């Protein structure tokens, strides 16, 4: 049997609000293969970001297991588990947040280089990535010298330069205007399809969600 790209089984996550445990999701399972895309939708506070964080090891589920490529994680926060997650994030999982994806002290190009280098990729085609995303002439500028949309494009360039197997994007266009948002997501889907990696996209945008091959509605606010 060919292992899927990502499998999550029976995930449970609770937070404490005061003394009350608040359950964000119960027995959640999902699966994603290469080339597939999954839209995470649901009201604000329904647990989209929490789920994405769990899927890349930044947060831990209370119970349940996550498998990425051939690495299986079943709880545990020991140093070795952390190192395995770190290794995956370094080479296989590209994460894009709504904003602040770039190091402020580095130019756009140096940011892409840094990300590529961490992933063990060649630094040579970093400029190409910026050009493909339409910001080649801004390569030498610093994050505070370009617009929010240009910063998000640079963030996508960083993710593609690392040649990941899986991209996790948490409202990557949440702070952009409609036109720019469409532009950026258009490029995201384009490149994802061309390189055949998996994509999980948390979004409030119904139209954007329809462009994904799969959907997961986390529903309403978590129950107490």
Partner 1 sequence: MTVCSALLSHYRRHPLQLLALALMIVLATMLWTGVSHLTDHARASLAQSEQAIAGQQQLVREDGQAVSVQDFAYLRRQGLCVMPWLEVQRPPPEGRVIGVDPFASACFGSDAPGQARVDALNGEPFLDIAEAKAMVRQGSNGDLSLLVPVDVEADAVPADYRLKDFSMGPATGELGESFLLNLDALGVLVLLITALLVRSVYQLGLVQRRESFTLLRRFGVPATRVQVLLLIEMVALTSVWVIPGIWLGRLLAEILGGGFGQVLESLFDAPLYAVDGGGFVLPALVMVTVVLLACFADKRLLRRLPWLSGRPSVVWFGVPVLGLGLAMVAWPFTLGWLFVGIALVFVAVGLLTPRVLSYVAQWGAEGAGAITLWQRRELAVLFRRLALPVVALQFAVAMVLAIQALVTTFEDTFERWLGQRLEAEFYVEVPEQSAAVDGVRYLAGLSGVGDWHLVQRGKTHVVPEMAGDDAATSVEVDLFSISPIGPLVTGWTLLDAIPDAWEKLATGQGVMVNEQLARRQGYQPGETIGFTLGEQSLALPVVGVYADYGRPDGEILVAGQILPETFNTRFQSLSLNPGTLAMAEIEQGLAAVWNTDQLTVRDNGSIRSLASGVFDQTFLITRAITVLTLVLAGTSLLIMGWVFFTTRAWYYRLLFVWGLSPREVAGQLRWLAMFLTGAVAVAALPLGVWLTWALVSRINPLAFGWSLPMAVYPGFWLEMLVLCLVIGLAISVLMRRQLGAGVPAPAMANVAGGGER
* Residue number, 130 or 209, with CB nearest to partner 1: 130
CB-CB contact of 204 with 171 (8 Å)? yes
Nearer to partner 1, 44 or 210 (CB): 44
E strands, 108-212, in order? 166-170, 198-202
- In the list 24, 102, 199, 200, the residue contacting ligand ATP (rule: CB under 6 A) is 24
Among 32, 36, 47, 49, interactor with Mg ion by CB under 5 A: 49
Q: How many whole angstroms separate alpha carbon 56 and alpha carbon 24?
A: 17
For residue 191, give the 3-state DSSP assignment: helix
Q: How far is the CB of 210 from partner 1 (least distance, A)?
A: 28
Please, which residue, 144 or 223, has the CB nearer to partner 1?
144
Tell me how far, at minimum, the Cβ of 67 lies from Mg ion, in Å.
24
Task: Return d(Cα 55, Cα 89) in angstroms, integer.
Answer: 10
Using CB under 6 A as the binding rule, whether residue 64 contacts ligand ATP is answered as no
30 contact choice in ligand ATP, partner 1, Mg ion, none (CB below 5 to 8 Å, kind-dependent) = none
Of 35 and 45, CB closest to partner 1:
45
Are the C-beta atoms of residues 68 and 166 closer than 8 Å to each other? yes
Burial class of residue 1 (count of CB atoms within 10 Å of its CB; 0-12, 13-18, 19+): exposed
Q: Does 203 bind Mg ion (CB under 5 A)?
A: no
State yes or no: residue 121 binds ligand ATP (CB under 6 A). Answer: no
Phi and psi torsions of 76, nearest 5°: 85, 130
Return the number of the residue (133 or 209) whose C-beta is nearest partner 1.
133
The smaller minimum CB distance to partner 1, of residues 7 and 91, is found at 91
* DSSP single-letter state for residue 106: S
Helix axes 148-161, 178-195, angle to 10 degrees: 10
Secondary structure (3-state) at 152 = helix
**Choices 27-35, 42-50, 89-97, 102-110 (CB under 6 A): range interacting with ligand ATP:** 42-50
What are the two backbone dihedrals, phi and then psi, of residue 200, each rounded to the nearest 5 degrees? -120, 125
Nearest distance in Å: CB 51, ligand ATP: 7
Q: Can you give the binding site for ligand ATP, defined by CB under 6 A?
A: 15, 24, 42, 44-50, 222
């Amino acid at each position: 049997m060919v292992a899927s790209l990502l499998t999550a089984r029976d995930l449970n996550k609770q937070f404490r609000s005061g003394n009350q445990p608040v359950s964000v999701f119960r027995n959640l399972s999902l699966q994603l293969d290469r080339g597939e895309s999954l839209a995470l939708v649901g009201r604000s506070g329904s647990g989209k970001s929490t789920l994405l964080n769990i899927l890349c090891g930044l947060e831990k589920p209370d119970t349940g297991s996550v498998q990425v490529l051939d690495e299986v994680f079943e709880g545990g926060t020991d140093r070795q588990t952390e190192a395995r997650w770190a290794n995956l994030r370094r080479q296989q999982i590209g994460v894009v947040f709504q904003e602040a994806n770039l190091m402020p002290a580095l130019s756009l190009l140096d940011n892409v280089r840094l990300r590529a280098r961490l992933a063990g990729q060649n630094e040579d085609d970093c400029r190409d990535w910026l050009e493909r995303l339409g910001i080649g002439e801004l390569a030498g500028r610093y994050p505070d010298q370009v617009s929010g949309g240009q910063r998000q494009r640079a963030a996508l360039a960083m993710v593609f330069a690392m040649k990941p197997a899986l991209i996790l994007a948490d409202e990557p266009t949440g702070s952009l205007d409609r036109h720019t948002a469409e532009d950026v997501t258009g490029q995201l889907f384009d490149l994802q399809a061309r390189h055949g990696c998996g994509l999980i996209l948390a979004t409030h945008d119904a139209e954007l969600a329809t462009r994904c091959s799969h959907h997961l509605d986390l529903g309403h606010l978590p129950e107490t």
